[in-house]
Amino acid sequence: MKRLILFIGVFGIMAKAIAFNPTALIKEANDDYKKNKFEQAIQKYQTINDSGYVSAELYFNLGNAYYKTNNFKSAILYYERAKLLKPDDKDIDFNLEMARSFTVDKIEAIQEVFFISWIKWIRNLMSVESWTKSGVALFIISLVSFLLYLLSGKIGFKKAGFWLGAVALIISITSLSMGYQLKYLQMAKNTAIIFTPSVTLKSSPDESGTNLFILHEGTKVEILDKVGDWRWIKIANGSRGWIKMLDMVTI
């Protein structure tokens, strides 16, 4: 009897998984969005999101739907998630800035050292997949070039093979490094969006801590440390403080 119940349970889960069609539901949600039925579109997009389906397009559409309902904190959250997957997408950047314009906190970011900004700019030129494919392709080119260097009997070919292989190897390592950094940012969950209308940051991870400053919903923060339900965070201008995890949602 127990085996029968277990079989029925497993069969039910498999049938449900097969029955769920994200492509069809995405089309329905897109149709709702076009008809200005934004709440219905959000429900369907969230159903897809809750199923574990991940894509920049899904997050972007969710951001747009939340934006249309004036839920700017949720719009910012999903635009940020979309940006992690497609950092080179200009439409995501534009819509994210539009949503941010409706937030209360206007925080001026600390100017970074030029080479750090330069590295981030290069890293965001492509997605994780694009960086990885480029890195692997260039690594293969470097191997072929080094084989040419080792096997060729002509000095000209040996020089060309050596330098082409060296350059391709350096760029390959750089590409794979950029892809790794982007993947780490996606997996780390060390940034978040404030979801509480307003929250006071504390000097210590407890309610008795000194009040430092107030943040409002929609503000992006970086998570530096944690103690229980509290998180030590930093905002763009470098200010830091303790906040409860329930007041924000990780990107």
Query: 15-63, pLDDT tens digit by residue?
Result: 444 455 788 999 999 999 999 999 999 999 999 999 999 999 999 999 9
Percentage of the chain exceeding pLDDT 90: 78
Question: How far is Cα 144 from Cα 166, in angstroms, rounded to an integer?
Answer: 11
- The pLDDT > 70 percentage for the chain reads 92
pLDDT surpasses 80 at 6: no
Task: Name beta bridge partners: 242.
Answer: 202, 232
CA distance 68 to 47: 19
Buried b (16+ CB within 10 A) or exposed e, 31-61: ebbeeeebebbbebbeebbeeeeeebebbbb
- Two structure tokens written together for 115: 């080479």
Instruction: List the structure tokens of 219.
Output: 């503000």
Contact 60, 72 (CB under 8 A): no
Instruction: Tell whether the model's pLDDT for residue 11 goes beyond 70.
Output: no
Please write the tens of the pLDDT for every residue from 189-230.
899 999 999 999 999 999 999 999 999 999 999 999 999 999
Q: What is the mean predicted confidence (pLDDT) over 55-83?
A: 97
Q: How far apart are the first and last CA of the chain?
A: 45
User: For the chain, where are the alpha helices, taking DSSP H only?
Assistant: 2-19, 22-34, 38-50, 56-68, 72-85, 90-100, 114-123, 128-151, 155-188
Read off the pLDDT of residues 90-122 as tens digits, 9 standing for 90 and up: 999 999 999 999 999 999 888 878 888 888 889
**Mean pLDDT (the chain, rounded):** 90
- pTM score, whole prediction: 0.81
